[in-house]
Amino acid sequence: MTPAELASKIDHSLLKPEALPSDIHRLIAEAIEHRFAAVCIAPAFVAKAAVELRGSGVALCTVISFPHGTSKPTIKAIEATSAVKDGADELDVVAHLPNLINNNFDSARLELIEIVRAARAARPQAVIKVIIESAALLALGPDRGESAIATACRAIRESGCDFVKTSTGFHPTGGASIEAVKLIKKYAQGLQIKAAGGIRDLATAKAMLEAGADRLGTSNSVAIAQEARQMI
């Protein structure tokens, strides 16, 4: 994989609550320079970022009900609609984790359907990724964890979403893992996979892609891209 191909699979992310507008501006400049797939930022910055990114070829991604996913589905739907109207191309939605822990497929699916319908009514081409906190699900144990991931993938697929995303990067159980990506790949059945949380170097980035990830979310994008160029 060339450095350019690697960069095209990275969502350059800044989701710290203390991020300033100047930090977002720098993030956007870096994404354009390195030709990353997207920037991933908080909803408050989306409208201004959409103007800065116009015509750049870099997608604009934001997060919904981040980082806990505990808002009501109606609130998530409103937030998603507002974000795409502000100019977001992609939405990383935090699923309601108890639905997945309890293997409650119907509730998980219905929540996502409400969000998908609202967002796509405002922007039909919106890409929707669903964050499942895979480390928390795997902490349930091998059997329950795999069952929860299978339920999550099915709910995400049948609700019309596009991606399964491993993690917010803010959960105490941890971020992405090779085990999680492989399990998601097993049940994805047409869904794409975004690995995020704890991807800090080139070796980890490559390992996630080799395990089956289609996209990587990281705040260490520039360092990874520079390391890839040095390996040529």
**How far apart are alpha carbons 61 and 196 in whole angstroms?**
14
Which of 92, 129, 162, 214 is the catalytic position?
A: 92
Q: Give catalytic status of residue 194 as yes or no.
A: yes
Which of 11, 129, 165, 214 is the catalytic position?
A: 165
Which of 11, 76, 194, 214 is the catalytic position?
A: 194
Residues identified as active-site: 92, 165, 194
